[in-house]
Structure 1
Amino acid sequence: MTATLRLAEELIARPSVTPRDEGCQALIAARLQRLGFVCETVESGPADFRVTNLWARLGTGRQPTLVFAGHTDVVPTGPLTAWASDPFVPSHREGKLFGRGTSDMKTSIAAMVVACEEFLVAHPQPGIDIAFLLTSDEEGPAVDGTVVVCELLQRRGERLDWCIVGEPTSVERTGDMIKNGRRGTMSGKLTVKGIQGHIAYPHLAKNPIHLAAPALAELASTVWDQGNAFFPPTSWQISNIHGGTGASNVIPGTVVIDFNFRFSTESTPEGLQQRAADLLQRHGLHPGTGYDLDWTLGGRPFLTPPGTLVQAVRAAVMAEVGIETTLSTTGGTSDGRFIAQVCPQVIELGPPNATIHKIDEHVALADIEPLKNIYRRTLEHLATQAGTGG
C-alpha cells in the first residue's frame, strides 16, 4: 500500500458529512507540521453548524506561493442499503477504491500531502512557499468555509500566486482535463403578483401566471452573451415554478419562479440584473407593485488564461501520463471562485469525476499515484521557474 493510498483510506474512514470534519484536518495538520508548516485552525459558523477550516503555510511569505486547496467534508451517503459496502470503510474491488469521498475529494487531499512530503525531501529549500487551505463547508452552504479564510488572508495581506484545487476534474483518466475557470452562478426568486379569485370569474381576478408567461418566454429565449474562447454563452434556466392553492377552480394570487444564471466573463451580475429588470418592465411588470425579485449571487466567474501555472500543470501531466490535458470551464461551481478573488492563477485538477456524489463512489487505484506525481511534478516545475526568475 502506497503512502497516498494509506492516507486516502484514513481520511475516507472518517464520516465527515458536511459540515463535520471528524478530525480529517487535524490528521493532515500533524503531517504538515512535521514538514515545518505553521498550521492554523479557523472555525466559523453557528454552534449547530460549526465549520472547521485549516490554513497551513511553509515559508516566510516573501517567495511565490503555491496553495493546495480542497475540502474534507463529503455529501450524505444516501441509503446505506444501496451501497455494496460501508461508505466509510474503504474497500477494494475490481481495481477500485470504494467509499464516500474517494473521488470528491479525499484522494486528492492525500495526493497533495504526500506530493509535498516527497518534494520537500528532495528540495528542502524549494525557493517557493507552499500552503494548504482546507474546509469542511464546500458541500454545504459554503458561507463559513474557504470564503472566510480568503477574507482573513486578504486582511493580512498574505501573498498567494498559484492555487490548485483538488476537485475531481478528469474524465477518463487522471490528468486528461483540468479546469482553468468556472462560470459564475446567480439565482433569482421572482414573485409575480396578481389577484386571487374564482376561476369562473376571471374579470374579478388577475392571473399572475398569465402575467408572467410572456416575460418568461423572452427570458428563456434571450441571448445574454456569446461566450468566448474559454466559456460557453451565459444561460438562464428555470428551476422551480409554484403557483396556485391546489384547487382547480382558484386563480392564484401569486406565482413564484426560481431561476438561475450560469454566466461567463462576458457578463456581470449587475448587468444581468438590469437586463432582467428592463425585460420585466417591457412586459408591464413593475417592481414592488407587480413583482418582487430577490437575487443571490453564488459566485463570480473566474478564468486563469494559459500562463505559469497552466504551463506547469500541463508539463506535469505530459511527463507523468503522456497526454495533452484539456482546459475546460464546464461544470458547476467550486471554492475556486473564492480563492480567485485573492489569487491570480487558480486551476482545478483531480481524479475522474464519473461517480462523485453517487452510491458506491469510487476511484481507480491506478489513478491515485499518477495524481500524486502530477502534483509533485507541478511543484518541481514552479520551483524551477521561481529559481530562474521565469
Structure 2
Amino acid sequence: MRNDVPDPVPLAQALIRCRSVTPADDGAMAVLEAALAPLGFACHRLRFGEIENLFAIRGEGGPHLMFAGHTDVVPPGTTGWTTDPFGGEVRDGLLFGRGATDMKGGVAAWISAVTDVLARRPDLPGTLSLLITGDEEGPAVDGTVKVLDWLRDQQKIPDCCVVGEPTSKAVLGDTIKVGRRGSLNATLTVHGTQGHSAYPQRADNPIHRLVRVLAALTGTPLDQGTEFFEPTTLQVTSFDVGNPATNVIPPSATARLNIRFNDRHTEASLTAHLRAALEAEAPRHELAVSCSGEAFLTQPGPFVAALQAAVLAETGQAAKLDTGGGTSDARFIARFCPVAELGAVGATMHKADESTPVAELRALARLYARVIEDVLA
C-alpha cells in the first residue's frame, strides 16, 4: 500500500469553495488548470454555450488513459447543513461540502495520484488525460458530449477511460461500474371523441383505450435481465386528462412513463414496442420519446481486469462488477472507448452535509495511483 501520495484534501477544499452549481464554474476550472499545468499537462479550456470544460493531456503514444469527471454540483438546498456547503470544512475526520463526494473529491484524488506517479516515474509511457466538465449534473449537452466531439476532431480519443463517480457502496473499492442502464421517457396521448357520460355510445372514451394500452405495457416484463443487468423496468409516472367535469367523456388522455433498460434494448426497439401497443388499442394517438442515454456495457477484458487487480492490491476488496444506478457521462464515453466507473463511497452524495472521510479520500488517491500505473503497464 502506498503512503506517499500527496494529500488530495487541500485541492478538494479549493474545488468545494467554488460555488459551481450547474451551469456556473466560479473558478473551478482555473483551480484545476493551476494544479495540472506544472505537471506538464497541456490544458485546453473549452467553452460551449454557458458551460466551462477542461481537457488536459500529457505524454504521447499509447496506451492513452483518460480520467473523466465533473466540477459542477447540484444546489445545496436550504436546510439540513451544519456547515457552509461551500466551505470545505474538515471536522471529525470528514471533509464537508457540496461535491465532497460527487465528485470534486474524486477529481482531487486523481490529480494527487497523477502527481505521485509522475514524481516517481517521470518517464511514464503512454498518455494521460483528463476530461472535466461543468455540465454533468445539468442537461449534459454542452459538456462531455461536445468535448468528445472535439477530441475526435483532434484525433485524441483515449484507449480507455476511468470515470470518478462515487461508485463504491459500503467500502472503498467494493464496486466497479462497467455499464449503465439506458433511460427513455415517453409521452403517450390517445385521442377519442368527447361526449356526455350518460350517452357513451355517442363518444369514444380515450381513457379506456389508454388504460388498456398501459395494462398491456405493464402486464408483461420486457425481459428477465442479463448477466450484468437487472431486468428492464417500465414505470408509469403520470396520467392526465385535464377534465374538471364528472359527466363529460374527455377528448384525449395522456400518460407519461420512464423505462430504465438494459443492453437487450435500444431507443429504437423500445419506441417500436410502445407504438405497437398504441396501435393495437388506439387508432388515433401520438407518441413522443426522448432518450437520455442508451444502455452500455464494457465487457470484462484487460482494462477491467487491471482495475480489479489494482483495487484488490490497494484495498483488499474483490470489486464487484455492477451496472446499477442512474446515468452518468460514461454513457457518452462508451461510444468511443472502453469505460468504467470507480470512485468513493456515495452514501452522502446530493444530501445535506455531503461529506467524505479524509482517510477514504487519501486512500482513493493511493488507489488511483495504482490504477494509473497498472493500466498504462
Same fold (TM over 0.5): yes
What amino acid is the match of 2:168? Answer: S
Note the 1:126-145 alignment, pairs <5 A.
Answer: 126-145=124-143
Query: 1:64 touches 1:159 (CA, 8 Å); kept in 2?
Result: no
Which of 289, 293, 304 does residue 295 from structure 1 map onto?
A: 289
Matched, 1:220 2:218: yes
Deviation at 1:130, TM superposition (A): 0.4
Note the 1:87-236 alignment, pairs <5 A.
Answer: 87-236=85-234
State the Cα deviation string for residues 320-375 of structure 1 (Å, max 9, x = none): 211111110000010000011111x1001111111111111111222111111111
Cα distance between partner residues in 2 of 1:104 and 1:354: 10
Moved more, 252-261 or 119-128: 252-261
Counterpart position of 2:64 = 65
SS at match of 1:363: strand
Cα distance between partner residues in 1 of 2:145 and 2:168: 25
Deviation at 1:251, TM superposition (A): 2.9
Query: 1:71 touches 1:138 (CA, 8 Å); kept in 2?
Result: yes
Counterpart position of 2:264 = 266
SS at match of 1:377: helix
TM-score (norm 1): 0.92
Cα distance between partner residues in 2 of 1:167 and 1:228: 24
Q: 1:242 to 1:322 in 2, by over 3 A?
A: same
Cα distance between partner residues in 2 of 1:255 and 1:375: 52
TM-score (norm 2): 0.95
Q: Which runs of 5+ in 2 are unaligned?
A: none
The root-mean-square deviation of aligned C-alpha atoms, in Å, is 1.7
Cα distance between partner residues in 2 of 1:247 and 1:74: 44
What amino acid is the match of 1:56? Answer: A
Query: 2:106 touches 2:164 (CA, 8 Å); kept in 1?
Result: yes
What amino acid is the match of 1:263? Answer: F
Query: 2:148 touches 2:157 (CA, 8 Å); kept in 1?
Result: no
Q: Which runs of 5+ in 1 are unaligned?
A: 385-390
Moved more, 222-231 or 31-40: 222-231
Counterpart position of 1:374 = 367
SS at match of 1:126: coil
Query: 1:190 touches 1:258 (CA, 8 Å); kept in 2?
Result: yes
Note the 1:219-258 alignment, pairs <5 A.
Answer: 219-258=217-256
Cα distance between partner residues in 2 of 1:380 and 1:252: 65
Query: 1:190 touches 1:293 (CA, 8 Å); kept in 2?
Result: yes
Query: 2:278 touches 2:285 (CA, 8 Å); kept in 1?
Result: no
What is the number of residues matched between the two proteins?
373
Deviation at 1:197, TM superposition (A): 3.7
Deviation at 1:250, TM superposition (A): 3.5
- Percent of aligned pairs sharing the same letter: 45
Counterpart position of 2:55 = 55
Query: 1:177 touches 1:349 (CA, 8 Å); kept in 2?
Result: yes
Cα distance between partner residues in 2 of 1:219 and 1:320: 47
Query: 1:3 touches 1:114 (CA, 8 Å); kept in 2?
Result: yes
SS at match of 1:142: coil
Matched, 1:347 2:347: no
What amino acid is the match of 2:287? Answer: L
State the Cα deviation string for residues 105-150 of structure 1 (Å, max 9, x = none): 0000000111111111111111120000011111111111101111
What amino acid is the match of 2:206? Answer: P
Query: 1:227 touches 1:265 (CA, 8 Å); kept in 2?
Result: no
Query: 1:244 touches 1:250 (CA, 8 Å); kept in 2?
Result: no
Query: 1:225 touches 1:267 (CA, 8 Å); kept in 2?
Result: no
